[in-house]
A and B are shown apart, each in its own frame.
Chain A
Amino acid sequence: MKILVPVKRVPDPATTIRVLPDGSGIATDNVKWVINPFDEIAIEEALRIKEKQGSGEVVLAAVGQQSWQEQLRTGLAMGADRALLVRTDAALDTLAIARLLAKLAEDQKPDIIILGKQAIDDDSNQVGQMLAEMLGWPQATFASKVEFQDRKCTVVREVDGGLETIGFDLPAIVTTDLRLNEPRYASLPGIMKARKKELKEIPAESLGVDLTPKLKIKKLDPPPKRQAGRKVASVEELVQVLHNEAKVI
């Protein structure tokens, strides 16, 4: 099975994010950059599928700047076979990114595309679903279990109030939720091998896609700060203040 895994570069989730005073973006001076954690889960799932089936290919794809090579190399070190970097320095919206990925998919013809359900920087949760529509494929978002029987795929999804199971034929789109798997770390031999794996750059403009953003971020503001309250000395006091002062119980 050929599996395409789109990957995004995001600030490490442990980084404290600060909005720049002029609202133009976030301060990046102390930011460590990593693969979006949900995309790591997607890579892991792809590798497990390939390992279980004993054959196949895992292709990574990213749409971004030169520096994103770093995250693609990390994914290759985890075990992916090769990577594609659609190069652009422009700020694209989700529609443009999905269109570029759709072009790659038409060219690469994967059997399945596995993406993270959301990127932890902009938290949009859109690209997988958009890509599914553009390709006319089934979609299974928020996956916590993915199984195959020949060309049939069954996915258990994390939805409100429980777990939903849906089924469909490949090709299809799956987006990962947290409980799908625990991603492996890149091993030292993996890192050595990754240096020699193919990482192909493709200029975004060459794909013939309208990249003009229809969604623009005009500015960022820091959220209102919540005042820390006070410590109480006992359970009895806690219940009293919740009743008499806060009046919530």
Chain B
Amino acid sequence: MGDVLVFAEHQQGKFPKSSLTAILAGQELAQKRGGKAVAVVASDNPDSLASELAKYGCAKVVALAHPALKNYLADAHAQALAALVKSSGAEYVLATATAMGKDLMPRLAARLGAPMASEIVAINEDGTLIRPMYAGNALATIEMDGPVKVVTVRATAFDAAKPADSPAPVEKVNAEIDGASARMQFVAFNQTKSDRPQLIEARIVVSGGRGLKSGDNFKTVLEPLVDEMGAAMGASRAAVDAGFVPNDLQVGQTGKVVAPELYVAVGISGAIQHLAGMKDSKVIAAINKDEEAPIFSVADYGLVADLFKAVPEMVQEVKKLKQS
């Protein structure tokens, strides 16, 4: 009882910070439930991934291997994990609420007949969980019944696991996946090219909204600031809907949730759906020409100004600061 299986997502042969977050959250949950945390990696060829994962201080690493686990597909992954959960007797299965975690874990929960708590932000001593609802306007305390429970965690709400003194033992398991999983086929992944830090991992995020007025202005006005600050770029839904920037830059209730050291909102009004994705940032700065804009109600520092004048100036000021 109390054991936690942590599904660690990998991308291009590595574990992003969000996966290490799941491990730490899994360790915390296991500790509070009197069990141990076991990390799981799934791949057609998981050996090197498993030895990397073994560094992070879990009781064990399970390397689930099967040719059908080459590209991520919900059906095959859910089958493989469900069989492992059953044979391991774990009480919880946990992953980060990334696009993959959100896609996979409910399917797994249904396969196990288990309840699921999405995007938790805290674990109470009594094992109840806290999760935001209503675009972050309410924090719910959740209780789940049954032998198995499924959880996803919000990446920004937990720290990342750090390497431990000695590596965990690795157990390789041939995954159980039936032929029917072949009904889903991976066709292509069209990666958004960017040399900038990942949005959910960045120390600084600079986001633009409808106030930027065009994709060209994102390039010529906002991007110089993003790069001068070494930041990741984000956007409001309005900017994404208008086609100014790619979809996966959307910050908010229905996009990505970020909580960097510094969030700079430029030409963003601060709708509740946007705030849901950034209001836990450590410091928030906002530039908006409307002094009544709701973004100022959460901003530590607000500048009422025309962004087309203020942003180029800011590039120069940040440059000066770096030189001094």
Chain A interfacial positions (CB closer than 8 Å to B): 11, 13, 16-19, 26, 38, 93-95, 98, 117-118, 120-134, 136, 138-139, 141-142, 144, 154, 157-169, 177-179, 213-223, 226, 228-232, 234-236, 238-239, 241-243, 246, 248-249
Contacts and interface: CB of A to CB of B under 8 A. Distances in A.
Nearest to B198: A161
Nearest to A10: B134
B285 interface: yes
Contact of A95 (B11, B115, B128, B300): B115
Contacts of A239: 314, 317-318, 321
Contact of A122 (B99, B133, B204, B303): B133
Contact of B317 (A93, A121, A214, A236): A236
A160 B305 CA distance: 33
Interface stretch (B85-93, B179-187, B212-220): B179-187
Given A123-B135, A161-B191, A230-B301, A218 B107 contact: no
A220 B106 contact: no
Interface string B114-154: 11111100000000100011111111111111100000000
Among B108, B135, B138, the one with the most A-chain Cβ atoms within 10 Å of its Cβ is: B138
Contact of B254 (A98, A122, A144, A178): A178
A165 B191 CA distance: 11
B283 A246 contact: yes
B262 A95 contact: no
B301 A229 contact: yes
A130 B110 contact: yes
A166 B106 contact: no
Interface string B250-262: 1001100000011
Nearest to B16: A160
A243 B104 CA distance: 42
Nearest to B78: A133
B interface residue count range (under 10 / 10 to 19 / 20 to 34 / 35 or more)? 35 or more
B166 interface: no
A223 B139 contact: yes
A235 B317 contact: yes
A35 to B, nearest CB: 15
B297 A166 contact: no
Among B134, B140, B192, the one with the most A-chain Cβ atoms within 10 Å of its Cβ is: B134
A26 B132 CA distance: 13
Interface of B: 11, 73-75, 78, 98-100, 102-111, 113-119, 128, 132-146, 180, 183-192, 198, 204, 229, 237, 240-241, 246-248, 250, 253-254, 261-262, 272-273, 279, 282-285, 287, 291, 296-305, 310, 313-314, 317-318, 321
Contacts of A217: 140-142
A218 B314 contact: no
A220 B140 contact: yes
Chain A contact residues: helix, strand, loop or mixed: mixed
A169 B185 CA distance: 10
A177 B109 CA distance: 22
B224 to A, nearest CB: 14
A160 B138 contact: no
Contacts of A248: 204, 261-262, 282-283
B142 A216 contact: yes
B138 A220 contact: yes
Given A11-B134, A220-B141, A228-B297, 7 more contacts: A18-B137, A123-B118, A123-B119, A131-B110, A178-B237, A215-B145, A242-B301
Contacts of B106: 94, 125-130, 133
B155 to A, nearest CB: 10
A94 B318 CA distance: 49
A109 to B, nearest CB: 18
Contacts of A134: 110
A238 B272 CA distance: 24
Contact of A17 (B138, B283, B304): B138
A138 B184 contact: yes
Given A159-B100, A161-B11, A231 B296 contact: yes
A69 B54 CA distance: 53
B188 A165 contact: yes
A123 B143 contact: no
Given A129-B103, A228-B297, A161 B248 contact: yes
Contacts of A220: 133, 138-141
A13 B273 contact: yes
26 contacts: A11-B134, A17-B134, A17-B138, A38-B254, A130-B107, A132-B110, A138-B75, A139-B103, A154-B187, A159-B99, A160-B98, A161-B191, A166-B185, A178-B241, A179-B247, A214-B114, A216-B142, A216-B143, A217-B140, A218-B143, A226-B279, A230-B301, A230-B302, A231-B301, A235-B313, A249-B229
